[in-house]
Amino acid sequence: MPAFSAMLLAQSRNLGDISTPVTLLYSENAVIIFGSRSRFCPERGFSSAWELKIWIRAKLILLKTYYFIMQTRIKRYNILLRGNVQHIGYRGVIEGTARKLNIKGYVFNDVDGSVKIACEGLQKSIDVFINGLSEFARSDIDSIEKKEVHDELYLPSVFSRVATDDYYEFSQKFDIGIDFLDGIKIDTGEMKKSLTNINTTLEAFVIRQDKHNQRMDEHNQWMKEYNQRMDERNQHLEDILVKLAEK
């Protein structure tokens, strides 16, 4: 037990705020703060606000210590994922996430369609691990069940994927691959139909453009003839002006 915590416990003892002996019991499996009961002592109370403040601070520090100890304890869990969680690359995500969090264990697809995990790591890492899984595939997961294991588990030091039946898993993946290819074939057929429609539309556009170009050629020819007539008229006017000037 840290010296600072022991000092705070001694201070609390002198304040008369504990009805049973003040203890801090720490082991790998349990932490007990302030014995079995902790309450104000109605007979004595606190002689000053300063004593009450010290008592509250001692409680808060010890509770934070308890929380820290709980979060840094090694925990073991069996985790069960149900839903659309097999053959979609989900185990790879689980494996990568667990390795980043220094979690030991393994994951495998079971024949009932679920994904099962056995893992060991710090409590805070396990919590982050489970929250990360639920956030990644929220729409695919129907439920997440976790059960703490108090016995020792023999787990690989590096989190790994386990194939329960290679033939079964490969055949399942091939079936899914064939379904994807069928979908691609359908999509390709629809794309071909769309391209045909686009080609027809472009041909119609080209025809309309040709007609437009023809009308533009006719317009240009008319403008050329019009300009020629205007030149002749201007020349005629110039001749008239010259004759008038001579008179």
CATH fold of 74-164? Alpha-Beta Plaits (3.30.70)
The overall average pLDDT reported for the chain is 71
Q: What are phi and psi of 82, to 5 degrees?
A: -120, 150
Delimit the domains of the chain by residue range. Answer: 3-71, 74-164, 176-247
Q: At what angle do helices 123-136 and 49-71 cross, to 10 degrees?
A: 70
For the stretch 128-179, pLDDT in tens is 998 888 777 666 788 889 899 988 888 888 998 887 655 455 545 555 555 5
Please compute, for residue 92, the number of CA atoms within 13 A of its CA located in the half-sphere on the CB side: 3
Write down the pTM of the prediction: 0.42
The answer to whether residue 103 scores a pLDDT higher than 90 is yes
Q: What is the C-alpha separation between 34 and 211, in angstroms, rounded?
A: 97
